[in-house]
Amino acid sequence: MISVSQSQINDEVAHGYKPHAVGTGLAMLPLNELGDREFEMLVYSLIEARIQRNDYASFDQVVLMKGVGERGRDCLLYHQGDVAGLIQCKKLQKKMSRPEVMEEITKFLMFTISEEELMPSPGAFEYHLYTSGGYFEPAATLLSSFKIESKKEVESGNVLRIIQGLKEKYSTFKAYNEQQSLEHVARALEVLTVKQFTGVDLNLSLASYPVVMSKFFRTLPVLDATSFEAILTQKLEESGIKFLTGQNLNDLYKRLSSVPPEFQLALGNVDLFGYSENYFKFLGKEGFSELIKKVSDVRLFLDIKAHDYAASLIIPEMLEKLTEPYVHTGRVLPFTLNVVAQYLNKRIQPSVMSKASPSASLKHMHPQMGLTKQTLMDSILEECIESSRRFFAGDYSGFPDPDPDREKRLALFEGMHAGCSTDAQLKARFLIDLPLIMPIVDEIERTIIASVPQVRTVVINDMAYFDDPEKLKRILTTIKAIE
């Protein structure tokens, strides 16, 4: 399977031809002015945007294929790391006929005869057919009641004739037994879920995703207030101007902007407003050193707690998204998650602490920062395998001595290996497990990093907020929320 990276998709879209669209309302978009590949990328981009809003059934990932030799699959749909569907795109000036639809679906099912991994669970697999030109009535009837209508196609001999035609057209199928192929296709048709989408459906969906539409068509965007505010904020910030929308930010802006420049001091790890240079001359070296130490102590306390907080999120995230759906069901070895837990810790901590120390110090504390994901994972895997290798050999020198919990520790290792008795078996199983869960591992990493911002700022206020009832009310609400 050869998929396309997001950076390549963005580059192709940016340099592709954009047809003119008449406004951005519900007028039909000129889909057929797009190239075949642009049409595929349009559908992919729309589905990706819908998935991000949890608006595309139960699918949580879509992958765009290279476009050549992909067995009738323009995109793959995933659910919790498993292939659960495909998208086939047809940019056609005319409507698709019933025989054309059946041939397209049968062709894919023929490929699954020798490659079961293309459709691992036929009963839970969905085939999504997008065509810009729509469908003739017989084809629409077929797709509307697919299981019933496709059975008629099998019984009438149409499917057998399609298989015979495909054998003539594709060298891959020439050696296939016709009767066995028919039986395989018929079984799949009985359980396969097929969904149809037309240019009208695309047009309606794109109206809700103007950003996707603007990538492929030259339009005059009509934005709602929320979208406009987001774009305006981005543009202002790119120009060095802050567009403050939160009440706390507004209060802070008013407070700081009222301080004259001569009472603003930047001292590196602390910026002070309302204090002059003469004030610090009055403090003297001893007072200044005491201030810096107190500020550093507060910052160090918060940084350490941020580090601990990020670490505390790893196990709950793994339990919900990996342990329960994959380890408890026997799909993934506990040993694999042991490696992943250490990988996540080493990936997340440098990011969380990236602003807590200068770059040189950070690299010294976290030497894994310079490693690629694959290199880091490989190094952790080897460390874990070496530990298990000693366990298999009866070498417990790495355990505490004395060790009152020795029996529990040995039982834990046995459970983690789940029947594997050699380091070779562990590594082989790990290499099978990792591709299944790696998208979820990446998702966990992104979720935790987003939960602990790299840029953290502490503002120490005076007691004037006691004289502001509205601000005092907000403060009390916040305190109640974190109790």
Q: The domain spanning residue 194 has which CATH number?
A: 3.40.1350
Taking each continuous run of H as one helix and of E as one strand, the counts in the chain are 18, 7
How far is CA 413 from each of CA 374, 387, 418, 428, rounded to the nearest angstrom? 25, 10, 9, 18
Judge whether 74 and 64 are in contact, CB under 8 Å: yes
User: 280 and 210, same structural domain?
Assistant: no
Give residue 357's domain range. 276-451
The SS3 assignment for 403 reads coil
User: 78 and 193, same structural domain?
Assistant: yes
The SS3 assignment for 129 reads strand
Q: Is residue 111 a part of any domain in this protein?
A: yes
Judge whether 475 and 465 are in contact, CB under 8 Å: yes
Kindly state the helix (H) or strand (E) to which residue 87 belongs, with its residue range: strand 82-90
CA atoms of 16 and 41, how far apart (whole Å): 11
Residues 6+ apart with CB under 8 A from 321: 440, 443, 444
User: 314 and 186, same structural domain?
Assistant: no
pTM, 2 dp: 0.46
User: 175 and 295, same structural domain?
Assistant: no
For residue 357, with 0-12 CB atoms within 10 Å meaning exposed, 13-18 middle and 19 or more buried, which class applies? middle
Q: Is residue 461 a part of any domain in this protein?
A: no
Q: What pLDDT is attached to residue 23?
A: 46
User: 320 and 199, same structural domain?
Assistant: no
User: 350 and 203, same structural domain?
Assistant: no
CA atoms of 118 and 123, how far apart (whole Å): 13
Question: Which of 199, 216, 233 lies at the terminal end of a domain, its last residue?
Answer: 216
Q: Is residue 126 a part of any domain in this protein?
A: yes
Q: What pLDDT is attached to residue 20?
A: 46
Q: Is residue 85 a part of any domain in this protein?
A: yes
User: 210 and 335, same structural domain?
Assistant: no
Q: Is residue 1 a part of any domain in this protein?
A: no
Q: What pLDDT is attached to residue 44?
A: 95
User: 283 and 196, same structural domain?
Assistant: no
Q: What is the DSSP letter of 97?
A: P
Which stretches of the chain score pLDDT less than 50?
Answer: 13, 15, 20, 22-26
Question: Which of 171, 200, 216 lies at the terminal end of a domain, its last residue?
Answer: 216
Q: How many structural domains are present in the chain?
A: 2
Q: Is residue 9 a part of any domain in this protein?
A: no
User: 396 and 320, same structural domain?
Assistant: yes
Question: Which of 194, 216, 238 lies at the terminal end of a domain, its last residue?
Answer: 216
User: 210 and 283, same structural domain?
Assistant: no
User: 296 and 148, same structural domain?
Assistant: no
Beta strands in 119-228 (DSSP E): 126-131, 193-197
Amino acid letter for position 85: G
Judge whether 380 and 342 are in contact, CB under 8 Å: yes
Q: Is residue 10 a part of any domain in this protein?
A: no
User: 418 and 299, same structural domain?
Assistant: yes
Q: Is residue 264 a part of any domain in this protein?
A: no
Q: What pLDDT is attached to residue 25?
A: 46
Q: What is the DSSP letter of 264?
A: E
Gap between the terminal Cα atoms of the chain: 50
CA atoms of 62 and 444, how far apart (whole Å): 18
